Structure 1
Amino acid sequence: MAAKTALVLIADGSEEIEFVTPQDVLIRAGFFVTSAGVNLEHNYATCSRNVRIVPDHLSLSASLPFRDILILPGGGPGAATFASSPMVRDLIRAYREQGRWVAFICAATTALVASAEHDGATGDGARKVRVTSHPSVKEAIVKRGWDYAPDSERVVVDGKVITSRGPGTAMLFALTIVEQMLGKETRDAITGPMICADTL
């Protein structure tokens, strides 16, 4: 069976942990992972704690092939860049309309919301699902009419949409993606060598 594939976006102001952790965990699980920058000021992303990260592709391009899952990290400024980018909004909708997985952590859930409301979105690309996010953007998401999960739920899966709450849930977010797409056996196989705690 061919390896699963993932595309992870990054922008200036993205949260480092939320970008690196899913990428690392998915590679451990056998995914082929590609990263792409969105509106970067330099030839690297300056993340929320001033860590510089060089993505595989410095800019998001329509020529990039579709992957099995699209992943967006949070971080307030980075999430705002995603939400305001017509190309990112179109990409999120396209993934959803094609029945592919999409995943958002922290403030990046706002990009999902924006993608469903802008540019004449219809059908599966505009469908509201049950979500979570960082508490700082919860009110804005609820006001847009989305079904917001209780704060006790650190990761929420609704169909092929996965959302999570923040840097401290990045590992659980990544492992949930692995379990949803490859099964619990694969998740269990990678948690042992990483010495993951029973409760994340």
Structure 2
Amino acid sequence: MKKVLLLLANGFEAVEASVFTDVLGWNKWEGDGSTEVVTAGMHPELHCTWNFQVTPEVQLDEIALEEFDALAIPGGFEEAGFYEDAFSERFQKVIQHFAFHNKPIASICVASLMVAHSGVLYNRKATTYNHPGSKRLEQLKQYGVRVADERIVCDGNIITSSNPGTAFEVAFKLLEMLTSKEITNQVKELMGF
């Protein structure tokens, strides 16, 4: 069984988290049965962007990172307090652990800024929210990242993406890294993609 840690910062976007639970959940029940998602955060209750509330399955300090095979991180909104958890030392250490062990890290939209903040994207290719009016690509560049203005960027074990519209693609890319192209295509077909 491949265990995926879904790391939830306060202020995350619910839709960006749910693609991981859905795609990897479909694989668990309808694909090869090899993936399981565990949601974790630093608070007993998390407020998503626009106040949708979620209770993570576990608190971050209750788990052993060694038990997990991959990390999935949804983005969120600064106005909803996303960067307070995202840039915290505890979250940064989680990202560094997965990077050090060369395990897959899948991030959607501005979650790549969390990854970059940890130092693991230095001199690597990545992207983030890329709307023409946004300052996020420039922020990413300040971390020493080789910014690519593309929908999705894969650099080794790390996936970054440019907006919420890429969410399903990122989740499928993570599934492919954990299983195979064949299994991923089977799950896509079952889900109507």
TM-score of Structure 1 vs Structure 2, range by shorter chain: 0.7 to 0.9
Q: 2:41 matched to 1:37?
A: yes
Q: 2:186 matched to 1:182?
A: no
Gaps of 5+ in 2: 29-34
Equivalent pair of 2:104/2:174 in contact (CA under 8 Å): no
Q: TM-score, normalised by structure 2?
A: 0.86
Match of 2:77 in 1: 76
Q: Secondary structure at the match of 1:87?
A: helix
Q: Secondary structure at the match of 2:110?
A: helix
Query: What percent of counterpart residues are identical?
Result: 29
Match of 2:162 among 161, 165, 169: 165
Match of 1:131 among 126, 129, 132: 126
Match of 1:97 in 2: 100
Counterparts of 2:21 and 2:147, CA distance in 1: 26
Deviations 1:18-53 (A, max 9, x none): 111112111212311101013x3xx32111122112
Deviations 1:154-185 (A, max 9, x none): 21111001111222111111011111221110
What amino acid sits opposite 1:33 in the alignment?
Answer: V
Counterparts of 1:96 and 1:82, CA distance in 2: 19
1:75 deviates by: 0.7
Q: Secondary structure at the match of 1:61?
A: helix
1:62 deviates by: 6.0
Give the ranges of 4+ consecutive aligned residues of structure 1 lying more than 4 Å apart after TM superposition: none
How many residue pairs match? The answer is 180
Mark the CA change 1:145 to 1:64 in structure 2 (over 3 Å): closer, same or farther: same
Gaps of 5+ in 1: 117-124
Q: TM-score, normalised by structure 1?
A: 0.83
Counterparts of 1:133 and 1:144, CA distance in 2: 12
